Amino acid sequence: MNLHEYQARDILRRHGIPVPPGEVATTADEARAIAARLGGGPVVVKAQVHAGGRGKAGGVKLAANADEAAAHAAKILGMTVKGLTVRRVLVAPAVDIGSESYVGIIVDRTSQRPVLMVSAAGGIDIEEVAAQTPEKIHRLAIDPRYGLLPHQGLGLALTLYRDIAQARAAADIMQRLYTAFYTVGASLAEINPLATTRDGAVAALDAKIVIDDNELERRPEVAALRDSSADAPSEVAAREAGLTFIKLDGTVGCCVNGAGLAMATMDLVKYYGGEPANFLDIGGSSNPQKVVSALRIITADPSVRAILFNIFGGITRGDDVANGIVQATREFPLKVPLVIRLTGTNQELGVQILTQAGFSALTDMDEAVKQAVARAKAA
Amino acid sequence: MSIFVDQQTRLVVQGITGRDGSFHTRQMIGYGTRVVAGVTPGKGGQQFDGVVPVFDTVADAVRETRANTSVIYVPAAVAVSAMFEAADAGIPLIVCITEGIPVLDMTRVLPYVHERGARLIGPNCPGLISPGRSKVGIIPGSICRTGRVGVVSRSGTLTYEIVHQLSTQGLGQSTCVGIGGDPLIGTNFIHCLSAFQADAETDAVVMIGEIGGTDEQQAADFVQQAMTKPVIGFIAGQTAPPGRRMGHAGAIISGSSGTAAEKMAAFARAGIAVMKRPADVVPLLKEQL
């Protein structure tokens, strides 16, 4: 789960990391009031949206005074960045920046540890730095049993700052960021830029935190930060129904059990010349109701021209899926053709249920995908 | 032979009285797995289905039954504790089926397990099966056949699909291992490839990867340097959009790394024949054998 910048800033602030003040506005008037409260001087107005490259898309603007802040907010609110609509802006004082560094923590799959990454070349082009000049990024795998040791933090901080007071301040920030990382259950936490201001202070000007979805059940206070308005409505509905669903741009709606098979099914749709409309995993222990929810979500997408079920029964039972399909089509008649592939556990029973309801079922994955692609093109 | 599990496997089921644990214990016993013990705290002294003794702790189960393998079916909230407990009891092979375990918990579990000399398979995996010998986990026994092809995969049902293609076209399996779809797992492709290379009864290996991470690229290097047996590979997620978690916690393309195209290219460079779709598995294997 992605957090917004303002939420990430709050978390850092609560962990004692210096973060300049700032508040969130949903209207231009609110933005004006916040700018006035911040002293009426120059402020920065920043789109709060789950997409990188906000600045390059025009979602970050400097304002000289409160009226200009309101004018910028009016333009930024409602704009789209990489397909996502901006509904909130952060209004924060414009800071006179001396230098920009990068500090981030991820869980590294190879070392199987949290890895702290720092670079003196921070700012908006950090991804380019990582790709072009990776030697400018210093990395340290942390032993989670001991945490970030003080000399390790200071050693990395000294690659950012020659001034020992600034290095100590940065090391302290790294220590606190590491604590915050574990406390909220993050899979990524980064400060970019970690900036020095004209008076020599070190502060976090922008922050990004991604939460491990598996942490949400035991951290309700973090789960409460979810902004469902930032997700596609179909994805919100799927989440509530216990399904994993991702909307794509094609015309073949896919309903599959298991994530790997779901991806392989999408790939096969493409292989046979079609385009998948979605990723959808109905999960392991499929009750018929999940299948009903899945069909409701797929059919709500107007670009879907055909629906493909690909079920390989293991824990998932063919009769459960068949009952779900029959039940769903009684509740809401389908307007697009349906191609069903059903094999594995309780296959015979499932096929029997489908046949009685007037559907036919295939057993071969390639054949089913070919038919679904052909039907989608004919429609 | 086979890898990791065979007739010598003496299995303890952690969470044997739970909904999933009891269902799959019956499936495993039905397949012929030697299930020697179960563990559910508070139910020690009972018998599961009148045939399997239940203990309060894994340590009790090991002492009384000489269990040498554990399988974990308990819910995510207690699965971490179950892995620590199995490692402390001296179990050398721990298979964690449970899905939904926080990655940061795994950063603590993995060093603990490794320091005790144990192998962890999973979490978030379907387990493994050596057809005709032993099944530990949830892979349906009915789709497997005895034979000489090793299968290693990050997926569950996609593995079933490919194993089904092998079995119905006359290619049986020595062992099929589902290593799990999480970013941090106990046993990776290289561990399995290395075991298959050493196994006298495995002639070739099918490796099923997916988007996310660089495990497949490292496995490709290993194949090139250390394997003489033919390996064929598949990568799921060629049409997956970047930045989205495709069901499995580990199946996410971040930045430019972890794409299917990159992994397939790494396979090809290492001399691994690349399947474009699951149905390619048998024709490609027959070319190699």
Which of the residues A251, A308, A315 would you substitute to probe the B interface, choosing the one with the greatest number of B C-beta atoms within 10 Å?
A315
Contact predicate A252/A275, CB 8 Å: yes
Q: Is residue B107 less than 8 Å (CB to CB) from chain A? A: yes
Residue A286 scores a pLDDT above 70:
no
Q: Give the strand pairing for A138-141 and A84-85.
A: unpaired
CB A328 within 8 A of CB A296: yes
Q: Tell me the two tokens of residue A255.
A: 């309903």
Distance CA A184, CA A211 (A): 7
Residue in chain A closest to B235 (alpha carbons) equals: A264
Residues B159, B178 contacting (CB under 8 angstroms): yes
State whether the Cα torsion B139-B165-A306-A335 is positive or negative: negative
Structure confidence at residue A231 (pLDDT): 78
Q: What is the pLDDT of residues A102-146, one digit of tens each?
A: 999 999 999 999 999 999 988 877 878 888 888 899 999 999 989
Residue of A nearest to B218 (CA): A110
Q: Do domains B11-121 and B139-288 have the same CATH topology?
A: yes
SS3 B14: strand
Nearest CA in chain B to A178: B104
Helix and strand totals (H; E) in chain B: 9, 14
CB contact under 8 A, B155 and A258: yes
> pLDDT per residue over A225-239, tens digit each?
998 877 778 888 998
> In chain A, whose CA is at the least distance from the CA of B144?
A344
Cis check: omega of the bond before A193, within 30 degrees of 0: yes
Q: Is the pLDDT assigned to residue A298 strictly greater than 90?
A: yes
CATH number of the domain located at residue range(s) A21-94 in this protein: 3.30.1490.20
Interface check for B164 against chain A (CB to CB < 8 A): the answer is yes
Contact call for residues B173 and B146 (beta carbons, < 8 A): yes
Name the residue type at position A152: Q
Contact A113 B107 (CB under 8 A): yes
Quick check: B249 and A264 CB within 8 A? no
Which architecture, in CATH terms, is A1-20+96-230? 2-Layer Sandwich (3.30)
Chain B residue with CA closest to A243: the answer is B247
Contact A260 B159 (CB under 8 A): yes
- Tell me the CA end-to-end span of chain B in Å, nearest whole number: 19
Put simply, the answer to whether A110 touches B277 (Cβ < 8 Å) is: no
What's residue B255's pLDDT? 66
* pLDDT above 80: residue B199: yes
Kindly give the residue spans of alpha helices, DSSP state H, lying in A77-203.
126-132, 150-157, 164-184
In the block, residue with structure tokens 């990068």: A102
Task: Give start and end residues of each alpha helix (H) in chain B.
Answer: 19-31, 58-65, 76-88, 103-115, 157-168, 189-198, 215-226, 260-269, 281-288
The DSSP code sequence of B130-175 is ETTTEEEES--GGG--EEEEEEEES-SHHHHHHHHHHHHTT--EEE
Question: How much of chain B exceeds pLDDT 90, in percent?
Answer: 92
Handedness of CA B144, B149, B155, B161 (dihedral sign): negative
Q: How far is A141 from chain B (nearest CA, A)?
A: 11
Q: How many CB atoms lie within 10 A of CB A145?
A: 9
pTM of the model: 0.94
CA–CA distance, A276 with A308 (Å, rounded to integer)? 10
Out of A182, A268, A312, the one facing B157 most closely (by C-beta) is A312
What is the separation of C-alpha B143 from the centre of its chain, rounded to a whole number of angstroms?
16
DSSP calls for A179-229: HHHHHHTEEEEEEEEEEEETTS-EEE--EEEEE-GGGGGG-HHHHTT--GG
The strand pair at B173-178 and B231-236 is best described as unpaired
Put simply, the answer to whether B278 touches A264 (Cβ < 8 Å) is: yes
ipTM value = 0.94
DSSP helix/strand/coil, A2: strand
Domain extents for chain B?
11-121, 139-288
Q: Assign domain B139-288 one CATH number from 3.40.50.261, 3.40.50.80, 2.40.37.10, 3.40.50.2000.
A: 3.40.50.261
Q: What's the mean pLDDT when you consider all of chain A?
A: 93
Among all chains, which residue has been given the structure tokens 């906000």?
A54
Q: How far is B64 from chain A (nearest CA, A)?
A: 32
Tell which phi-psi region holds residue B52, choosing left (phi > 0), alpha (psi between -120 and 50) or beta.
beta
For residue B256, the model assigns a pLDDT of 65
Q: Which pLDDT score, from 0 to 100, does residue A285 have?
A: 64
B1 vs B180, more confident:
B180
Active site residue B248: yes
What is the model's pLDDT at position B248?
A: 87
Q: Using the predicted structure, report yes or no on whether residue A317 has a pLDDT greater than 90.
A: no
> What pLDDT, on a 0 to 100 scale, did the predictor assign at position B53?
98
How far apart are the CA of A108 and the nearest CA of chain B, in angstroms? 8
Nearest CB among A266, A315, A316 relative to B239 is that of A266
More confident residue, B218 or A84: B218
DSSP letter at A266? H
Position B264 scores a pLDDT of 97
All structural domains of chain A with their residue ranges: 1-20+96-230, 21-94, 231-378
**Residue B154 and residue A260: Cβ atoms within 8 Å?**
yes
Q: Give B117→chain A minimum CA distance, Å.
A: 17
Phi, psi of B154 (to 5 degrees): -90, -5
* Residue located via tokens 């971040």: B254
Task: Give yes or no for B184 touching A (CB within 8 A).
Answer: yes
Beta strand B35-39 pairing with B52-55 = parallel
User: Pick from A127, A268, A344: which is nearest to B255 by CB?
Assistant: A127
Helices A318-331 and A347-356 cross at an angle (nearest 10°) of 20
Query: Across chain B, what does the average pLDDT equal?
Result: 96
The answer to whether B236 contacts A314, with C-beta atoms less than 8 Å apart, is no
Beta bridge partners of B129: B135, B176
Q: What are the backbone angles phi and psi of residue A350, rounded to the nearest 5°?
A: -65, -45
The CATH number given to B11-121 is 3.40.50.720
pLDDT of A155-192, one tens digit each? Answer: 999 999 999 999 999 999 999 999 999 999 999 999 99
Query: Cα separations (Å) of A62 from A72, B166, B230?
Result: 8, 62, 60
Backbone angles phi, psi at A7, to 5 degrees: -70, -40
Average the pLDDT over each of A285-299, B224-238, B246-260 and give the range with the smallest value: B246-260
Chain B interface test: which of A1, A181, A267 (most B C-beta within 10 Å): A267
Q: In chain B, what residues touch A284 (CB-CB under 8 Å)? A: 156
Mean pLDDT over B202-219 rounds to 96
State the average pLDDT over residues A340-352: 93
Contact yes or no for A260 and B111 at CB 8 A: no
Q: Are the beta carbons of B236 and A267 separated by less than 8 Å?
A: yes
Distance CA A301, CA B214 (A): 34
Catalytic residues of A: 102, 190
With an 8 Å Cβ cutoff, is B186 touching chain A? no
A38/A21 Cα distance (integer angstroms): 8
Chain B stretch 28-57, residues whose beta carbon is closer than 8 A to a beta carbon of chain A:
none
* Cβ–Cβ gap A214/B76 under 8 Å: yes
What are the tokens at B280? 């390619």
Asked whether A34 and A23 are in contact (CB, 8 A), the reply is yes
Domain A231-378, what fold? Rossmann fold (3.40.50)
How remote is the C-alpha of B113 from its chain's centroid?
16
User: Beta strands A84-85 and A80-81: pairing type?
Assistant: antiparallel
Interface contact B76, partner A, CB < 8 A: yes
Tell me the pLDDT tens digit for each residue of B250-272: 888 776 678 999 999 999 999 99
Residues 6+ apart with CB under 8 A from A75: A61
